[in-house]
Structure 1
Amino acid sequence: MPESLLRHRVVVTGIGTVNSHGLGVDAFWSGVMNGQSGIGRITSFDATDYPCQVGAEVRDFEVGDFMDVKEARRNDRFTHFAMAATKLALTDANVDTTKLDSERFGVLVGSGIGGMETIQKQSRRLYEMGPRKVSPFMIPSLIANIASGVVAIEIGARGPNYGIVSACSTATHAIGEAFRILRDGEADIIVAGGSEAAITELGYAGFCSMKAMSTSYNDCPERASRPFDKGRDGFVMGEGAGVLILETLEHAKARGARIYCDVTAYAATCDAYHITSPDPEGKALGTAITKVIKDAGLQPEDVDYINAHGTSTPYNDKFETLAVKRALGDHAYKVMVSSTKSMTGHLLGAAGGVESAVCAKAIFEGKVPPTINYEEKDEDCDLDYVPNVARDAEVKVAICNNSGFGGHNATVLFTKSV
């Protein structure tokens, strides 16, 4: 069969995460499996006058541990997180980048917003000091694609490289597109995921003005993110990055890599309904779930676990539940569904990176993290959300869902490697 027609198996061999639980997959996995909330009062700015005063911040982060400090000053915090997550993932995968074919080594690390901190700082300089005081590094540090470029320069990856921007679906789209590139034989190994650093005054002002964020739990931040619970009142912002090392099975085996799981199918759809509100019938997301199951050659009954988008907003959780029912039918009531945003907050464009990591670990470890703060059942959200306590369970098939402003949906299906 010609190489152009050969479809390769794609596997996950490395995980790198940066979030409020700490640096690296071990700290992250321990946090979510123990049901620990990474959400607290905002410390990076004075949030007293903001309706939402809580978030899942990355603390004790030293960018100099992951990139040259001078180079770091020329880049936004979201790029710092992307670099850290990439290096942690490469270490986890035991990859020696000097031994790779650089032209078949890719990077697809996106961001939903990009350099929010840079936009805020440089706008202040413009209005307070004039145009000559605006940094010459402003544009290259704020554009959302720059994380992929800076990471590629650092690790010598000359293969497929671009930055996907699809709001909160970004990282899932990046992982899915990387899967397709590898499946079709256009690369051997790709760093894929997302990064976000929007916990700033401007970022909070914008989301608070939309009335999208939680405002009822400022005095008890750890309870603020409560996906699928009847008392949910908005999302809680998180920050950080999540990336996976994806390889063709042949490449992974040739270097003796440990394999977490296979990436088996990917779908992208659009609600075509509203710029910020999800489709109240859950049609397009349901279609994405149905498509990945079909493309994987599976049946709805084969799905063991779904890491839901589960934002803790009244509309998303209700309509995502409906989408799962559309796709799985009666099996929807038997599948385990959890939202780790209850602990990490919503990492926006990086959400699918850390949540795909959860799917890979759930398959590899045979354990499913909980949805914490699930206290009162909502009649519209009546599935098994793995409430409050992690569960030991064999997971052979896991799905990661993410949806973003603009109506973007992305779904990736992972399977146990055999």
Structure 2
Amino acid sequence: MTDKATAGRLRPASGRRVVITGIGVLAPGGVGTKAFWDTLTSGRTATRTITFFDASPFRSRIAGEVDFDPAAEGLGQQQIRRLDRAAQFAVVATREAVADSGLENVDPYRTGVTVGSAVGATMSLDREYAVVSDGGQSWLVDHNYGSRHLYDWFVPSSFAAEVAREVGAEGPAVVVSAGCTSGLDSVGHAAELIRDGSVDVMITGATDAPISPITVACFDAIKATSPRNDDPEHASRPFDRTRNGFVLGEGCAMFVLEELSHARARGAHVYAEIAGFASRCNAYHMTGLRPDGREMAEAIRAAMDEARMAGEAIDYINAHGSGTKQNDRHETAAVKRVLGDHAYRTPMSSIKSVIGHSLGAVGSIEIAASALAMEHGVVPPTANLHEPDPECDLDYVPLVAREHRTDAVLTVGSGFGGFQSAMVLARPERRPA
């Protein structure tokens, strides 16, 4: 005889398929998945002048902020004191995802957690440094002035621990940090753990709350963010000829992933199957990209190979679309390189035009947008795209959402350090045998 946990570990991993059965989102424009989708499809931009601190000394003073009240979202006073804002996001989004999935009575040893984050507990660390250094006046700081929760903020693995505690997961618990592809990579890693038989359920996604003086200063230094401070609502302009950098954002998306037969056995609603995932590194430059798109193209090709899908099967592309000159050119070239002529017939849009760029979280938020596009048969638009760049000549769904039947979505990400990731979502019934 074997107990339940041991029996699970002995099950063969071959042929295991992974599906999304629950979604939770916090993003600029509204808290919750419905508010997020309504914001995207309306084309209303949620970027504005920074309100979290006095940004007047900085070059770029705009961001996509989440109107978030942790107490109103059900967090207790101890949680609010203990958790960084990004961790608060993760806990609240996890609750929504689990409720959405209808998941109950999970086997703790067959349930795991992966959380992606590019910059961890930045807001708390920035705030605590200001305290211990007396506003930057003291070179030698006194740690006794710091919060006793400083260690948890310093070690991002606390994010995964908090989510695991929330759902009672006692399987693998991991934080994935790979810059701006963290949100894709976290979900991709979770799917692999289910496929290889380690678990049946994963709570996964990504969170970042980076809108702090240190983050704004860092992106100012390399002129990566838009200085269009007089028009914050229209500053994020992916694929537009007048684009001049991305707009910083914050947010979180969390998912319930399940092995397909596990989901079907309990009658769960399935949003999409994670049909393929791949990541690559260009080993070329910390922030630079080759204009031919070869690195991202390689990740796309590998993800599509894993999904056993040809380019013609892709119905919609959720772009990284950061709004920097080089990224939008690189991404356009990569899509053409893999999809060929089909690239010109495939809608492709960037939700960063609406919510900004939430660094490591945005890859998961874009997975949520991709799954919801399949669910509702609607492709979200690229806002603020009034003057198309001749070098970016695909169908970027400008300004207005479009009704469009979608059976397979390609979503892609690109990050500093040369990271490139791609994921294919598909309706399970449309997957090739």
TM-score normalised by L of structure 2: 0.93
Deviation at 1:23, TM superposition (A): 1.2
Instruction: Determine if the alignment matches structure 1 residue 9 to structure 2 residue 20.
Output: no
Structure 2 Cα separation of the partners of residues 21 and 124 of structure 1: 29
Structure 2 Cα separation of the partners of residues 208 and 329 of structure 1: 37
Amino acid at match of 1:295: E
Structure 2 CA distance for partners of 1:241 and 1:5, relative to 1, 3 Å? closer
Deviation at 1:45, TM superposition (A): 0.8
Runs of 4+ off more than 6 Å: none
User: What is the aligned counterpart of 1:394 among 397, 401, 405?
Assistant: 405
Q: Counterpart of 2:197?
A: 185
Aligned to 1:43, what secondary structure does the other structure show? coil
Structure 2 Cα separation of the partners of residues 303 and 377 of structure 1: 23
**Which string of whole-angstrom CA distances, capped at 9 and with x for unpartnered residues, describes residues 94-152 of structure 1?**
222xx110111111012100011122122122222722212232121232222111111
Q: Counterpart of 1:243?
A: 254
Structure 1 Cα separation of the partners of residues 215 and 252 of structure 2: 17
Instruction: Determine if the alignment matches structure 1 residue 403 to structure 2 residue 414.
Output: yes
Q: Is the 8 A contact 1:195 1:242 kept in 2?
A: yes
Deviation at 1:276, TM superposition (A): 1.3
Instruction: Determine if the alignment matches structure 1 residue 338 to structure 2 residue 349.
Output: yes
Deviation at 1:64, TM superposition (A): 5.9
Amino acid at match of 1:312: G
Aligned to 1:162, what secondary structure does the other structure show? strand
User: What is the aligned counterpart of 1:369 among 380, 384, 401?
Assistant: 380
Which blocks of at least 5 consecutive residues in structure 2 are unaligned? 1-9, 135-140
Amino acid at match of 1:283: R
Q: Counterpart of 1:412?
A: 423
User: What is the aligned counterpart of 1:117 among 117, 120, 123?
Assistant: 123
Q: Is the 8 A contact 2:112 2:170 kept in 1?
A: yes
Q: Is the 8 A contact 1:167 1:348 kept in 2?
A: yes
Aligned to 1:4, what secondary structure does the other structure show? coil
User: What is the aligned counterpart of 2:55 among 33, 44, 47?
Assistant: 47
Q: Counterpart of 1:65?
A: 73
Q: Counterpart of 2:101?
A: 93
Structure 2 CA distance for partners of 1:334 and 1:226, relative to 1, 3 Å? same
Structure 1 Cα separation of the partners of residues 244 and 55 of structure 2: 19
User: What is the aligned counterpart of 2:208 among 187, 191, 196?
Assistant: 196
Deviation at 1:279, TM superposition (A): 2.9
Amino acid at match of 1:202: I
Q: Is the 8 A contact 1:225 1:343 kept in 2?
A: yes
Output aligned runs, 1:235-314, within 5 Å.
235-314=246-325
Aligned to 1:174, what secondary structure does the other structure show? helix
**Which string of whole-angstrom CA distances, capped at 9 and with x for unpartnered residues, describes residues 375-401 of structure 1?**
111111000001111111110110110
Q: Is the 8 A contact 2:21 2:258 kept in 1?
A: yes
Structure 2 Cα separation of the partners of residues 328 and 380 of structure 1: 17
Deviation at 1:295, TM superposition (A): 1.6
Amino acid at match of 2:19: V
Aligned to 1:204, what secondary structure does the other structure show? helix
Q: Is the 8 A contact 2:70 2:88 kept in 1?
A: no
Aligned to 2:51, what secondary structure does the other structure show? coil
Q: Is the 8 A contact 1:7 1:184 kept in 2?
A: no
Q: Is the 8 A contact 1:7 1:185 kept in 2?
A: no
Structure 2 CA distance for partners of 1:117 and 1:60, relative to 1, 3 Å? closer
**Which string of whole-angstrom CA distances, capped at 9 and with x for unpartnered residues, describes residues 229-256 of structure 1?**
0010000011010112111111111221
Structure 2 Cα separation of the partners of residues 364 and 7 of structure 1: 25
Q: Counterpart of 1:130?
A: 142
Structure 2 CA distance for partners of 1:5 and 1:75, relative to 1, 3 Å? closer
Amino acid at match of 1:213: T
Structure 2 CA distance for partners of 1:63 and 1:19, relative to 1, 3 Å? farther
Structure 2 Cα separation of the partners of residues 279 and 180 of structure 1: 29
Amino acid at match of 1:76: D
Structure 2 Cα separation of the partners of residues 5 and 83 of structure 1: 30
Deviation at 1:71, TM superposition (A): 2.7
Aligned to 1:84, what secondary structure does the other structure show? helix
Q: Counterpart of 1:378?
A: 389
Q: Counterpart of 1:328?
A: 339
**Which string of whole-angstrom CA distances, capped at 9 and with x for unpartnered residues, describes residues 242-274 of structure 1?**
112111111111221111111111001111111
Amino acid at match of 1:191: I
Aligned identity (percent) is 38
Q: Is the 8 A contact 1:66 1:87 kept in 2?
A: no
Which blocks of at least 5 consecutive residues in structure 1 are unaligned? none
Q: Is the 8 A contact 2:70 2:80 kept in 1?
A: no
Amino acid at match of 2:375: F
Q: Is the 8 A contact 2:281 2:420 kept in 1?
A: yes
**Which string of whole-angstrom CA distances, capped at 9 and with x for unpartnered residues, describes residues 132-181 of structure 1?**
21223212123222211111112211112100000100010011111111
Structure 1 Cα separation of the partners of residues 72 and 403 of structure 2: 38
Structure 2 Cα separation of the partners of residues 154 and 190 of structure 1: 13
Q: Counterpart of 2:4?
A: none
